[in-house]
Structure 1
Amino acid sequence: MAPDATGSRSGRKNDPDRRDRIIDACLDVIAESGVAGASHRRIAEAAGVPLGSMTYHFDGIDELLHEAFTRFSHTISARFEERMAAASDAESARAAVVDIIREDVFGNGRELVLSHELYTLAARKPAYRALTTAWMLRSRAALERHFDPDTARLLDALIEGLSIHRALDEAERDPEEVVIAVARITAV
């Protein structure tokens, strides 16, 4: 039986989720070993796919990294937007920002590492800077549902700055500091 238009002998795609698994595996490898440790071979192994799948689905490692970080930034932005959209007034908006910091940013070490890997890449390569810029614009737009643009920008900077401190500071911090910082920035 000869292969048909789908590329398989049975008329079904062999592995329709393979590209998505590769992207997910790429993020896993980056979280574990950094961008510097993300090779085609390691990602293929983590995805459980043949090495040839890497070049079949992506023109190179840079395209794969860009796709993976795009998926990552969209996932984080969607969660951020959901939290801010659920707020109904200034008080619940402040609480949503606190939850974003304490639960989303501080609560997930994998995402914290991935964020910083993206920031480092964006500092060096303009194509990735476009991703971080779009991510910041989405964050600020979500914040501007409840705060003026200057306050939204300061809150966004607070979130990013606290993520750096969380990743690098060895000392445990009082979680109430987040509440105090958000209150100070949003004080009328």
Structure 2
Amino acid sequence: MAGSASAAGVVSTRAAILRATLKVVGEQGVGGLTNRRIVAAAGVSLGTLTYHFPSQTELLREAMLLFAEEETAKLAAIVEGHRTDELSLEQAASLVEQVIRQLPFGTDELAPHELYLQAARDPDLREASERCFAAYDELATAILGALGLPDPARLAGPVVALIAGLQLRRLATGTDVPAAEPLMMLLHGARG
């Protein structure tokens, strides 16, 4: 029992550090990420931070993977909640737009974009970035396949890119950006 409690403490400490990292990145950008800010946000000591994450690259990589895991789980739960609804393409596109509109405008949404940009600068983060997008592609493939679209794996990348681009535009402009219509254009084009 004591071993599992200790392991749970390590996991929660690591998770707290990773969530604090995402918070700081969202608020300050990667350039503003300092150990002092992370430990203050996580409520841990500097020694604890460096024990769990000896390098900033490892810290950023693990934070990116945690975000992708939690985000895809959240999106998969939404999909699962509508799995038996037999949605039309139009209804599915409308649902995607609703989900995007429900996302908060804030640091939680900025952090992943900051990390993806950092991955463009830091080759050591690219594998984590690729894994994040692979998770999104896998989820999109499952949804597109359930909608009966031909070659859903081929279509998943463009759908994910469209949605990510619309989210970025929403964050950058501070205004809601309709997603259903552009998504329908892409999906109807795929049907041929």
Tell me the TM-score range normalised by the shorter chain: 0.7 to 0.9
1:38 to 33, 42, 47: 33
Structure showing the higher helix proportion among its residues: 2
Change (3 A) 1:150 1:57: closer
SS of the residue 1:59 aligns to: coil
Length-normalised TM-score, structure 1? 0.78
- Structure 1 residues 84, 129: closer, same or farther in 2, change over 3 A? farther
Which residue does the alignment assign to 1:94? 93
**SS at 1:144 equivalent:** helix
Matched, 1:123 2:127: no
Q: CA, structure 1 residues 37+152, in 2 after alignment: closer, same or farther (shift >3 Å)?
A: same
Stretch moving more, 41-50 or 78-87: 78-87
Matched, 1:142 2:133: no
1:143-158 equivalence runs, <5 A: 143-145=140-142, 146=144, 147=149, 148-158=152-162
Contact 2:19-2:63 at 8 Å conserved across structures: yes
- Aligned runs of 1:4-83 on 2, under 5 Å? 16=9, 17-83=12-78
Of the structure 1 ranges 132-141 and 84-93, higher mean CA displacement relative to structure 2 is found in 84-93
Amino acid at match of 1:98: E
Report the TM-score when normalising by structure 2. Answer: 0.76
Match of 2:169 among 159, 165, 169: 165
Distance 1:94 1:153 in 2: 16
Preserved contact between residue 22 and residue 108 of structure 2 (Cα < 8 Å): no
Could you say what the CA RMSD is over the residues aligned between the two structures, in angstroms?
Answer: 2.5
Give aligned-pair identity as a percent. Answer: 29
**C-alpha deviation, 1:108, in angstroms:** 4.2
The unaligned stretches of length 5 or more in structure 1 are 7-11
